[in-house]
Homo-oligomer: A and B are copies of this chain.
């Protein structure tokens, strides 16, 4: 009988099988993710994250989409019904680093007992308000990680942290330019 090898809550056998599947068929690594939003009022929008495509085929992994609310705080003319868009991006970087740390630690035989992130970003609103000035988005993003491992050395954890930065999908799209196209359909 096969033994299930779980480390950090990650099924290491499945992780290795996934790597093997991608090596056999490059298309297995291909995903298209998707999110939708509907405006409600003022700064408030309702979001949904549901099906995605894997290897060109829509997945049936999620019977119901995840629902999110986006809004602005009062100082930005909203009603604080949810986080704002730039805060969600910081959260996404924290989540991405967290998954990268834990999956790669599992693959390397490193046990993680505690892992936290704090991510912050500086933003100047001049351009959004039509007043020119610096770039519209974050001028800088700073992430800080706290990690505890019962057996790993400082050097092993530093190497893991560097590797995760080098392979993080969210860090990549923040640190490097992504082509973004935006199409408009005017409804009658």
Contact = CB atoms under 8 A, between A and B. Distances in A.
A125 B188 CA distance: 40
Give the one of A35, A147, A148 with max B CB within 10 A: A35
A39 to B, nearest CB: 4
Contacts of A168: 128, 136-137
Contacts of A32: 120-123
Given A38-B115, A123-B33, A137-B178, A10 B43 contact: yes
Which 7 A-B pairs have CB atoms at the shortest separation, nearest pair first?
A9-B41, A70-B95, A137-B172, A9-B42, A85-B96, A137-B173, A37-B94
Interface of A: 8-11, 14-15, 18-19, 22-23, 26, 29-45, 47, 49, 52, 54, 59, 61-62, 66, 68, 70, 72-75, 77-78, 80, 82-104, 107, 112, 114-131, 133, 135-149, 154, 157-158, 161, 165-188
A127 B173 CA distance: 13
Nearest to A107: B130
Contact of A169 (B8, B117, B138, B179): B138
B170 A186 contact: no
B42 A66 contact: no
A137 B171 CA distance: 8
Contact of A186 (B30, B37, B59, B147): B147
Given A125-B31, A129-B29, A61 B74 contact: yes
13 contacts: A9-B41, A29-B125, A36-B119, A37-B98, A37-B117, A86-B170, A86-B173, A88-B91, A136-B166, A143-B180, A144-B183, A144-B185, A175-B179
